[in-house]
Every structure is written in structure tokens, then in C-alpha cells.
Structure 1
Amino acid sequence: MLQRFYFDVDNGREIVRDDEGVEAEDFEQALADARSVISEMAAELAVANLSGPCSIIVRDETGLTLAQVPLGLFSTPPQEPKI
């Protein structure tokens, strides 16, 4: 049975709630499915040069917090341009 998971963003000043969420079989699948979106968010926040730590708060459909993951864990290191 599919469950709904929500990925809120905590930017150190406020928590931006995910009202849509994603459906997945379990927490691991939800995190894997959301990984690319989370990576994009991490890159956008890095470009915005926000001071302070940002993290993703993962909630289940009851509102229970399952994990709080620093966005840095999902960002990819910058690559050197190839010449």
C-alpha cells in the first residue's frame, strides 16, 4: 500500500511546508524518488548563498517527523570545466 511522504525545507529562518508530498511504498523509496529534486533544491540554495544550515524534514502522512537531513548530503560537488 502506498504511503504519502512530505519533504519540508528548513532554511534556518523558517520551515517551508510541502503540502503536496509524494507517494511511495516506504521511506527509502520516497527518499530515492525525491533525491533529484532535493539535489536541485540544494544547488539553488547554494547559489542563493543563504547563511546557516538548510535541511529537509521528512514527514509521513500523519505529520510524524521521520528524519531531518542536511541538504549538503544531497548536493553534488562542483565539477571542474573540461577544456
Structure 2
Amino acid sequence: MLLLALLEAAGIAKLGVGLGAGIAAIGAGLGIGKIGSAAMEAIARQPEATGDIRSNMIIIAALVEGVALFAVIVCLLCLFI
């Protein structure tokens, strides 16, 4: 608790929250890009499985986005609590 109070007094806590939220957003963008890339390669190799690949891609992208949103919310809660 003492360390947290010292960090808040120095203003470093706000910097850490911004950095954490930014890293979470960048990580989500990279993850969704990787998912899309792999899905396009899979569709190019097996065009008959397009529907299954697309639906799995959407589900996984939604899960990645949910984790990123959770990370940003935790960062904001750390700022205000």
C-alpha cells in the first residue's frame, strides 16, 4: 500500500495505466491480425471449408477482443481505486 501511495504521489500510476491499456490494445490488434492472416491462408488451401473457418475465426477474434477489453477495464480500475 505504501508503494502504491508513493507511485500515485509521483504521478507514475497514471503513466502505468496508460501504458498497460496501450499494450492491451496493441496486443489485441496483433492477435486479431494473426487470426485473420491464418484464416485467409486456411481458406486459400481449403476453399470448401470457408464457412467453418470463418465462424471459428469470428469466435476466436471475439474472445481476443473480450480479453483486451477486460485488460483495459482492469487498468482503468487500477487508476481510480
| Length-normalised TM-score, structure 1 | 0.32
* Higher strand content, 1 or 2: 1
Mark the structure with the bigger radius of gyration.
2
Higher helix fraction: Structure 1 or Structure 2?
2
* TM-score between both structures, scaled by the size of structure 2: 0.32
Greater length-normalized contact order (CA 8 Å, ≥ 6 residues apart)? 2
